[in-house]
Amino acid sequence: VTRTLTINREQQIEEGFAPEVSESDTAATPLDIVPLDLERVDGATTIPAGAIAATVTESTATDRTLQQVQLTLDLTQIQQSGEFKGMVLIRDGAQEQTVPLTIELKDAPTWPIAALSLGVLLGFGLSIYRAEGQERDRLVVQIGRIRTRMRADNALTFSFQTRLSAHLTMADTQLDDRWWAEARASISSALAIWQKWLQYREDWLTQTEYIQALPEVARQRGVPDTMPYGQFIFRALDDLEKQVADYATPQQVRDKLVVLQEQVGHYHLALNALSQLEFRGLLPSDQQYWQHQRAHLDAQLNELDPSNPQALAQWQDQLQNAQQEFAAAVQQATATSPNAELETAQGRSLQLPTPSFSMAIPAVSEAALSSSQRVARARWRLIAVNWASRTIAIGLFAFAGFTQLYSPRATFGADPLADYFALMAWGLGAETTRSSIVKVIQDLGVSLPKQ
């Protein structure tokens, strides 16, 4: 009868096992038990006979036909696990008998559990990287490429540089918050602006240079930057320079410039028309009136909104009427008595309007401030639930793999490379399967927490 012993390396180094050996002889001669070397079934190693100690115990049977033999293994002399087979020689006086012996030795569960857990952890890490890290790295690379191209183009205008930097900064913030879709949208917007810049690069530069030159041209033509009319034009030019990147084509920018250029031209023509109201040939009383009249028209001109052509047309009508009245006053100057002229001038004198131009300060909306303590508690709850769920998942997967790959195998560790890598592969595959199932369910629209 073959005696099979299954031994776990986690047991004590010396552990007793008691197979029973039947004796047909009832003689009182003491038995001599001689263990022989046990060879592993693949012949790779052996258990030396010196690692096996045999002890015959007192028989408890009344007829003393059974003797009990206790074998003790010294596991320190056995380096590898596996299935070992050999013989135990039993001598009883002149008689000898061999008993086949099989020992199945497996590794202690500490390292198998560690290997399995490592596989599950690697699977978790791979899943997390595929779910978040891979996407983040891809987006970070795209952001870096755009910034590198921006730094390499020294001619990049202020508007395009500002818009690109704004989108890329927003993408960085969204990446920190793990808003992948929003970050992709911001990067796509930045790429669209960059491609637009490359497509019309020379035209953008030409229009921008003209925008920067037009304010000086306006000043040379008498447009004041302290009056509403001039402030509107200079502010529009400043805004246009900042907003160039918002237009689809340079032609749209040029159309805006044409309008502003016309507004500068209208002001210049209006100044020339006012300058024709000279006071020579008028009586002193009429000169005072026309000084007020001219100042009144000049103030009205500076108060005009350049973008309102109807207001400009009305002002031009007033100027034309004033010119006609002025011409008539010159012709009648010699026929008017000094007293009547003075009374008429006093009756027609105009009070100069006070320029009234103001910018409304936009209201600032106040964001509701959340309680810092409530936010801190919520953050800790999220962290605790996240790590607890991952720990439970790792434990369950490790236990399942342990019961399937380690516990049923009596010789686990006989082939360390295959056995341990099988555990790691199982853990990695289990996590990958879990991750795939969660993703499929999420794609179906079922809300599950991300692990």
Q: Where are the domains of the chain?
A: 3-106, 278-348
| Residue 5 predicted with pLDDT over 60 | no
Instruction: Name the percent of the chain lying above pLDDT 90.
Output: 23
Task: State the Cα–Cα distance between residues 272 and 243, nearest whole angstrom.
Answer: 33
Q: How many CB atoms are located within 10 Å of the residue 64 CB? A: 13
If we measure between CA atoms, which residue out of 257, 182, 263 comes closest to residue 222? 263
Q: For 15-25, what is the mean pLDDT?
A: 47
Residue 275's pLDDT band (boundaries 50, 70, 90)? Answer: confident
Dihedral over Cα of 161, 164, 165, 166: its sign:
positive
pLDDT at 4: 56
| 176 or 117: which leads in pLDDT | 176
pLDDT tens digits, 307-349: 887 887 888 788 777 777 777 776 666 555 444 443 333 333 3
In terms of C-beta distances under 8 Å and separation of at least 24 residues, what long-range contacts does 219-225 make, across chains too?
221/264, 221/265, 221/267, 221/268, 221/271, 222/267, 222/268, 222/271, 223/264, 223/267, 223/268, 224/302
pLDDT tens digits, 359-389: 332 333 343 334 556 667 777 887 887 778 7
Among 39-48, 70-79, 89-98, 286-295, the least confident range? 286-295
- Residue 120 burial class via C-beta count within 10 angstroms: exposed 0-12, middle 13-18, buried 19 and up: buried
Residue 354's pLDDT band (boundaries 50, 70, 90)? Answer: very low
| Candidate CATH numbers 2.60.40.2910, 2.60.450.10, 3.40.50.460, 2.60.120.40; the one for domain 3-106 | 2.60.40.2910
Q: For 93-117, what is the mean pLDDT?
A: 83
Query: How high does pLDDT run on average in the chain?
Result: 76
Among 137-151, 209-223, 251-265, 325-339, the least confident range? 325-339
